[in-house]
Amino acid sequence: MVQISKRRSIAALLFGVAIPVYSLPSIRTNTGIRPAIIAREEFEEDASTAIVPEGNFTATTFASSSADKGYDYVIIGGGAAGCTIANRLTEDPKISVLLIEAGPLDPYDPIIQIPGLADQVVGTQYDWKYKTVPQTSVNNRILDVPMGKLIGGGTALNRQVWQRASRSDYDAWVDLGNPGWGWDDLLPYFKKGETFYPPSPSLVNDWGISYDPAVHGYTGPMKNTVPDYQKAETTPWITAFSQLNIGIQTDQASGLNTNLFWTPAAIDPSNWTRQYARNAYYDPAVNRPNFHVLLNTTVTKLITTGTGPGIKVTRVEFATSKDGKRSYASINKEAILTAGTIATPQILQASGVGPQALLNSLDIPVVANLPGVGQNYQDHNNILSIFVTPGIPATPLDPVAALAEYNAYRTGPFTTPSGNLLGFIPLVTMTTNTTSILTKLGQQSAGQYLDTTDPTVVAGYSAQKNVLQTRLAQSDIAMTELIWAAPGIIVEANQHPFSRGSVKINSKSTFDYPNIDLRYGSNPLDWEVIADSHRFVRRVMQTPEMASKGAFEVVPGPDVSTNDQLTEYAKSGVSTLFHSSGTASMLPLDKGGVVDTNMKVYGFRNLRVCDASTIPLIPAAHIQATVYAMAEKAADIIKAAQ
């Protein structure tokens, strides 16, 4: 079924120039040994011969054929979680699965495959291109919220950072009433989902990169490693931190995701291409006869019968256009919603599952009054600061030459999506104001800044505040992420925001975008944290190392110094770091939860949600590895429940 056509070279596609394809000079195995040269395949594939399963239907052929004999599981959304669960369930040939994905299957598009082009995918046809409603808390700005719309979802758009949060981040989920979802419970699934390739000898020699072999997996679908290509300009940043007595962790995957550390990228080191849910989980499963897929097909509604606590989803409704014919897939066992942090609450609400008042306002019959659907929206947001650093020359990048080198040898700057050295700084390291900030958090009434007055959601937020008050006072959990994006250009990202946003439908149609309200800084304490985070950056940039490089601040500039001034600066530029979470949280029902610890939606017999929307409290990490691990665990739960 798989047919690869040699259509165009990458360079021809991108720059209209032909660059010959040679062979890989080397690949790395997970033992770190570099074996013999192997030929490489072109990864381009003609869209007309793309990998599709035997049972791949268009919505039209599906509706007009006898295809719908009913599926054991209908999975809605083919992103990180959806592809993972589809793969694991169809391992059992007796289980039939239909996956419905609103977007296409990409034809191994080079902008997705080549790590060095990772930032090019946002804004293309693979992006939903969501926008927020005007954000009152940030000067009425309308913010972009990119999300993947293709098989692979956000994992096809992302910057490939492959990272776990700290033990404390996941143990906080247990504190909130989710036994079975702490660090020790998730670690086997982090391992199950990955094949980790240790750093090459040159990385060990040149950069001293270390790792803990015991915390990694070596046989799972998602390949990851630290790319060989690293830039000299990273060194002063490391030295500056060492002058503040902040060192480099042995391995960020060990449950201590703080200070500086080297983080792998989701990348296949045999050919230095992106690893995403499509090639890691979807492709290996795609030819199983028990796996059917609908592409370019939008789920519009869950058709249900009965009342709580025994509500049953009988069919899933879908269409290819807003006014197009509706078609249906019947469910023998369960519907599994994996449409991501925006579309999951949207589909639930459009199906009558959500806050009663919202559903009433749109004349949607209430199937289940679940006030938490669409609430508890959390995201890492970031600001940028710029320092001039005359003594740290930026490594020049010639994109045409870099692409040619990549295409010919799979070496050079395009083998890596971004830098791999990250700073995750605990609150207690970042500021002397920890006690003041956490005391103020404790003094706030829980409902004060929320987008709802529902007592269960308020109670859930109150519980989160309590957990954060305790855990953020420790040094084993991060508060701010600092990325040295280029010499002197620093991304500063709040990892534990106190603000909570929402997703609310404004029409009955899932083809219309919902109201997305990130509400960054709606809890003003977040601005204090951001201000102190920037003050910490100033400390780094004032170390003897940075002074010796002539570093001085230009944006926002040294005159921007009070909390009010720094807040105004942050409001003018804050944007997403792409980690939307929490809108269908795994929490107890009386804490505004939407799913229980088996990922079952409250009130339903056969509806589960598992994706970033079920994250109850956003962890301090880029979240894809967490979503994959949650989906691996959910798949086991679903299989065991059969």
Nearest approach, Cβ of residue 110 and ligand FAD (Å): 17
Contact 621, 167 (CB under 8 A): no
Neighbours of 121 (CB within 10 A): 23
Write the CB contacts of 66 (distance below 8 Å, at least 6 apart in sequence): none
- DSSP character at residue 286: T
Q: Is 80 in the site for ligand FAD (CB under 6 A)?
A: yes
Nearest approach, Cβ of residue 614 and ligand FAD (Å): 8
**Six-digit token pair at 283?**
């492709």
- In order of 242, 486, 489, 538, the CA distances from 387 in angstroms are 19, 10, 6, 9
**Six-digit token pair at 295?**
């592409």
Q: Is 153 in the site for ligand FAD (CB under 6 A)?
A: yes
Stretch that binds ligand FAD, among 158-166, 209-217, 385-393, 460-468 (CB under 6 A): 158-166
Q: Is 75 in the site for ligand FAD (CB under 6 A)?
A: no
- In order of 295, 326, 581, the CA distances from 57 in angstroms are 8, 15, 31
Q: Is 494 in the site for ligand FAD (CB under 6 A)?
A: no
Nearest residue (CB) to ligand FAD, 19 versus 187: 187
Nearest by Cα to 82 from 372, 265, 343: 343
Consult the annotation and say whether 160 binds a ligand: yes
**Six-digit token pair at 199?**
């750093």
Cross-strand bridge partners of residue 387: 553
Q: Is 578 in the site for ligand FAD (CB under 6 A)?
A: yes
Nearest residue (CB) to ligand FAD, 493 versus 623: 623
Nearest by Cα to 479 from 500, 466, 493: 493
Q: Is 345 in the site for ligand FAD (CB under 6 A)?
A: no
Q: Is 230 in the site for ligand FAD (CB under 6 A)?
A: no
Q: Is 634 in the site for ligand FAD (CB under 6 A)?
A: no
Nearest approach, Cβ of residue 539 and ligand FAD (Å): 26
Q: Is 491 in the site for ligand FAD (CB under 6 A)?
A: no
Stretch that binds ligand FAD, among 70-78, 211-219, 384-392, 400-408 (CB under 6 A): 70-78
Write the CB contacts of 158 (distance below 8 Å, at least 6 apart in sequence): 118, 148, 266, 276, 578, 622, 624
Nearest by Cα to 152 from 89, 103, 187, 186: 103
Rounded to whole angstroms, the Cα distance separating 281 from 85 reads 9
Q: Which residue is nearest to ligand FAD (CB)?
A: 79
Active-site residue (options: 216, 292, 380, 579): 579
- DSSP character at residue 514: P
Nearest by Cα to 328 from 295, 354, 368, 301: 301
Show contacts with ligand FAD in window 305-324 (CB under 6 A): none
Consult the annotation and say whether 366 binds a ligand: no
Q: Is 420 in the site for ligand FAD (CB under 6 A)?
A: no
Candidates 209, 238, 299, 403; binder of ligand FAD (CB under 6 A) is 299
Rounded to whole angstroms, the Cα distance separating 566 from 254 reads 34
Q: Is 419 in the site for ligand FAD (CB under 6 A)?
A: no
Consult the annotation and say whether 554 binds a ligand: no
Q: Is 264 in the site for ligand FAD (CB under 6 A)?
A: no
**Is 622 one of the catalytic residues?**
yes
Residues in contact with ligand FAD, counted by CB under 6 A, come to a total of 42
Candidates 115, 148, 588, 616; binder of ligand FAD (CB under 6 A) is 148
Rounded to whole angstroms, the Cα distance separating 205 from 222 reads 26
- CA-CA-CA-CA torsion for 256, 258, 259, 260, nearest 10 degrees? 80
**Is 579 one of the catalytic residues?**
yes
Q: Is 279 in the site for ligand FAD (CB under 6 A)?
A: no
* Helices 525-541/235-243 angle, 10° precision: 100
State the residue for tokens 């019947």: 330
Element of type H or E holding 76 = strand 71-76
- In order of 48, 109, 153, 403, the CA distances from 126 in angstroms are 17, 10, 8, 22
Stretch that binds ligand FAD, among 94-102, 208-216, 230-238, 401-409 (CB under 6 A): 94-102
Q: Is 570 in the site for ligand FAD (CB under 6 A)?
A: no
Nearest residue (CB) to ligand FAD, 159 versus 223: 159
Candidates 627, 629, 634, 635; binder of ligand FAD (CB under 6 A) is 627
Contact flags string 232-251 toward ligand FAD, x per CB under 6 A? --------------------
**Six-digit token pair at 112?**
């997705």
Nearest residue (CB) to ligand FAD, 27 versus 630: 630
Q: Is 495 in the site for ligand FAD (CB under 6 A)?
A: no
Nearest approach, Cβ of residue 575 and ligand FAD (Å): 11
Rounded to whole angstroms, the Cα distance separating 275 from 113 reads 8
Nearest residue (CB) to ligand FAD, 410 versus 579: 579
Active-site residue (options: 216, 292, 496, 622): 622
Q: Is 510 in the site for ligand FAD (CB under 6 A)?
A: yes
**Six-digit token pair at 378?**
């959390």
The SS3 of residue 120 is: helix
Nearest approach, Cβ of residue 276 and ligand FAD (Å): 9
- DSSP character at residue 221: S
Consult the annotation and say whether 299 binds a ligand: yes
Nearest approach, Cβ of residue 626 and ligand FAD (Å): 8
- DSSP character at residue 279: I
Nearest approach, Cβ of residue 20 and ligand FAD (Å): 32
Beta strands 381-388 and 552-555 are antiparallel
Task: Summarize as ranges the residues that interact with ligand FAD (CB under 6 A).
Answer: 76-82, 100-103, 122, 146-150, 153-155, 157-161, 298-299, 338-340, 343, 347, 510, 578-579, 611-612, 622-625, 627
Known binding positions for FAD: 158-161, 299
Residues that constitute the known binding site: 158-161, 299
The set of catalytic residues is 579, 622
